[in-house]
Amino acid sequence: MSFIGRRLQERIQPEKADVAVVFVGGFSEQVLTHLRRVYEYMPPLPVQGKQVRAFYAWDGGRGCLLFHSTKLIQEDLREFFKVNPQADLVMIGHSYGGSATMDVLRHLQAPHGRTLVVTIDAVSCRERSFPRERAQGVDYWVNVYCSPYRHFKDLAASVGGPWRHCEQADVNIVFSGEERDRAERRYQHAQPLPLFEDRAPGHALSAWEYMVSACNRMSVGSPKTTETP
């Protein structure tokens, strides 16, 4: 089956690395949403060791709403961690890609290092939106979202079931859809880049900066030390 999402994807390869940075785009990534811009503009994480990047459609490019699955992402990560059982994992998911990210981590049973997650205005089918649970093994979770929505492109997110505030996240960042970003556009679901890199009122750091700070604090990219009693 041909699907444009497959052409957007750049799958992770089972090569030697210390950090895997995996982006997961949303349902309408090809036409309405733009996590790809975050993927392209985000500089390499300032961490030790070699890092590799990957970009996936929320369902692995299968393009089937009724029978969506994150198995492809899970399988690729398992193969990667077979080669790098101590590597750290950073996952950044937007919209359906946010809920897909947590779904991947709930099913990923492979030895690996630290796990950091950024969900950008995560969305899932309403019956699956609650509870918005943190996957076991996630060491740090930044959740950023837009509320209230004030743009017509946000209608799909409203219908899909936005997660908004997540009690189990380490940091929740909210942008008002009534305010505007540096490009004078309203903050909106369909534009994840400003949500990711701007500082919201009441926060000294952006989602990107929170993630970098956590990576440095947790020594992402360097071997874990074993404490002796």
The domains located in the chain, with CATH, are 4-217 (3.40.50)
Find where tokens 């895997």 sit.
20
Find where tokens 């590799």 sit.
52
What's the farthest any 2 CA atoms get from each other in the chain? Answer: 58
- pLDDT one-digit tens code per residue, 62-117: 655 555 678 999 999 999 999 999 999 999 999 999 999 999 999 998 788 999 99
pTM comes to: 0.90
- pLDDT one-digit tens code per residue, 30-47: 655 588 889 988 999 999
**C-alpha distance across the termini of the chain, in Å:** 55
Which strand ranges, in their side-by-side order, compose the sheet holding 88-94? Answer: 51-56, 19-24, 88-94, 115-120, 140-146, 171-175
- Compute the distance between CA of residue 180 and CA of residue 80 in angstroms, rounded to an integer: 40
